[in-house]
Amino acid sequence: MSEKQENLYKLYSAIEFHLMQDERPSAYLQKIYDDPLFRQYPFDMLHQLKNTVQSPKYHPEGNVWNHILLVVDEAAKVKAQSKNPTAFMWAALLHDIGKAVTTQSKKGKITAHDHDKAGAKLARDFLSQFVEDHTLIDEVCGLVRYHMQILFVISGLKFADIEGMKWHTSVREVALLGMCDRLGRLGSNPRKEKDHINFFLQACESASPDKRYGR
């Protein structure tokens, strides 16, 4: 391992430590944002999120990086409820990584269609630089890939894929991450978001038999 690779791995390990140990992992992430190593591959996938805009209607907190910081802090509060806290926290950090390559602005409307699909591929690329545990990588990428299903299901959109979600990840893990995602924005309504999550879980319960991961 070269010195550069060793330093990148140390940064990865430090991020994981703070994701797992800190009450507010965002403090450490803000601290390292200007570190030259954080501008290098694969951390540059996260670094560029600060320059990735979001719709102010749905994300009054601003850019994707601001959103990520709020989400990881929400996730830190509930990670003990996850069946795999390490995978859960990495998914919280990486869930919107695909927005950097999918965000578009047309006629004043900002969209990031398919950022969940793009994000799953990028998350795999990111983690594969440091992790040999393919089960962990699959769990993280499954959550990233299906984290938008809450919106799709409760809105009755054609993109809803409950069966595929049940095969590739855990519905309850998606729900837990989704709650953090929804609370990780300014002006969120916890009671309303909890109702949305419960509706999602009920819809998944009645839609089809459990597959590989269960609910």
Task: For residue range 162-206, list pLDDT tens digits in order.
Answer: 999 999 999 999 999 999 999 999 999 999 999 999 999 999 998
Q: What is the mean pLDDT of residues 17-44?
A: 98
Which pLDDT score is estimated for 213?
A: 57
Q: At what angle do helices 134-146 and 115-128 cross, to 10 degrees?
A: 160
Distance between CA atoms of 153 and 92, rounded to whole angstroms?
20
Q: Which single residue is written with the structure tokens 């309303």? A: 192
- Between 58 and 139, where is the model more confident? 139
Q: Which single residue is written with the structure tokens 């597959």? A: 211
pTM given for the model: 0.95
For 71, phi and psi rounded to 5 degrees? -70, -45
Q: What token pair was written down for 86?
A: 């390490």
- Between 127 and 207, where is the model more confident? 127
Least confident of 60-64, 86-90, 161-165, 208-212: 208-212
DSSP for residue 83: S
Which pLDDT score is estimated for 139?
A: 98
Per DSSP, which regions of the chain are E strands? 104-106, 109-111
Which pLDDT score is estimated for 159?
A: 94
Q: What angle do CA 215, 111, 49 make, to 5 degrees?
A: 80
- Residue 122 burial (CB < 10 Å; 0-12/13-18/19+)? buried
Average pLDDT, the chain: 95
Distance between CA atoms of 192 and 198, rounded to whole angstroms?
10
The residue ranges of every structural domain in the chain are 3-207
Count CA atoms within 13 Å of residue 155 on its CB side: 9
Which pLDDT score is estimated for 1?
A: 80
Distance between CA atoms of 68 and 61, rounded to whole angstroms?
10
Domain 3-207: give its CATH code: 1.10.3210
Residue 207 has pLDDT above 90, yes or no: no
